[in-house]
Amino acid sequence: MAHSMNMWIHNGDWVSGTSKEDERFIGYVESVDAYGTVKVRVTQCDHTEAVGEIVESSLARLEKMSEEIQMDEADLKAMMDLALMTRDKAWFEDLYSALRMVQFQSKPHTGKDRGTSFGTGGRRVTID
């Protein structure tokens, strides 16, 4: 039954699992072939030399990670930098919206601050 849940793993999904060399890792899916072999770009691993590399695993050895990860303001700003470096405008805009929500939720609310703006402080960013 666990294997059928893993059938929903697609390119770009974050997964944790074990490689064919029995390394525990976390990373994102680069590709899935028709035979269930998955290539994963490793971001964390118990074998430090594998970080940043692509490892192979099977669907049966992977678990899709939850997409409900809470990020704080620093995490979101770091991800926004990555979106800028990769020139991914849609991702940047999504992250910026999430940052505004985090800032809004962390600010103490009084009756006076309803007109508060969460702009970039006059800084404009252009992504080609």
* Maximal C-alpha separation, the chain: 60
Whether residue 57 sits in one domain with residue 7: yes
Structure tokens at 73: 């303001």
pLDDT at 84: 92
What is residue 110's predicted lDDT score, i.e. its pLDDT? Answer: 59
Question: Rounded to an integer, what distance in angstroms lies between the CA atom of residue 81 and that of residue 30?
Answer: 21
- CATH number assigned to the domain comprising residue 27: 2.30.30.140
The pLDDT value recorded for residue 4 is: 44
In whole angstroms, what is the distance from residue 69 CA to residue 84 CA?
Answer: 21
**Domain count across the chain:** 2
Tell me if the pTM is above 0.85: no
Residues 127, 101, single domain; the answer is yes
Looking at residue 3, its pLDDT comes to 44
Mean pLDDT by 10 residues, the chain (128 residues): 57 89 90 91 88 90 80 87 89 90 78 50 63
Domain containing residue 55: 2-64
Q: Are residues 48 and 74 in the same domain?
A: no
